[in-house]
Amino acid sequence: MSIRDSGATRLRSLHPSPANGTGRPLLGLHDYGRLEVAAFQELDLLSPMRPRLARLLSEARVVPSPEIPANVITLGTTVRYRVDGDRMERRVLTLGREYVPSGQYVSVLTPVGLALLGRTPGETVEAETFTGDILRIAISMLEHQPEAEARARSLGGHDDGPEAA
């Protein structure tokens, strides 16, 4: 189900995204900006991920970061998924090789990481590896999303700690 165009591979959702109803990945403006820098300044011109990332950026629906629904996978999200029905994976989605204390991360600069970005639990997406194999990725759940955590902190009121008592 992948579509090739000028050497790039389009990642196609097999089940439309409940978050936006269009099947297009949903990105926050902050993540979009970081990915744009990666695509056009940090990645080598010959990197196989460069055209894939450029395609995602051109097809994504972009909204202000605070408006990203809590169930959408963003950079920094801890997500659980299965690749080709294998064991459940638990990873933090990162840009590059950002430090994750557990070492359990997946970069958006890989086919699997890019396929996860902007998607929601319940979706199954495909990603094409660099060798041409097609991986089916079933997204199970999000454990942590930075934007949702930031909203919860801002709405939770002010806790001045024990000194406030």
Write the DSSP symbol of residue 43.
S
- Domain 11-145 matching CATH 2.60.40.3880: the answer reads no
> Going residue by residue through the chain (165 aa), what tens digit of pLDDT does each one get?
333 333 443 344 443 334 434 578 999 999 999 999 888 887 778 888 889 999 999 999 999 999 999 999 999 999 999 999 999 999 999 997 666 667 789 999 999 999 999 999 999 999 999 999 999 999 999 999 999 998 888 887 555 555 545
Is-above-0.85 flag for pTM? no
Choose among 113, 116, 77, 94: nearest CA to 34: 94
Is 53:109 a contact under the CB 8 Å cutoff?
Answer: yes
* Helix, strand, coil percent content, the chain, rounded in steps of 5: 30, 25, 45
Question: Is the Cα torsion angle 86, 143, 69, 96 positive or negative in sign?
Answer: negative
Question: Is the Cα torsion angle 55, 60, 63, 67 positive or negative in sign?
Answer: negative
- For residue 124, the surrounding DSSP H or E stretch is strand 124-128
**Can you give the residue ranges of every domain in the chain?**
11-145
pLDDT of residue 47: 84
pLDDT of residue 97: 64
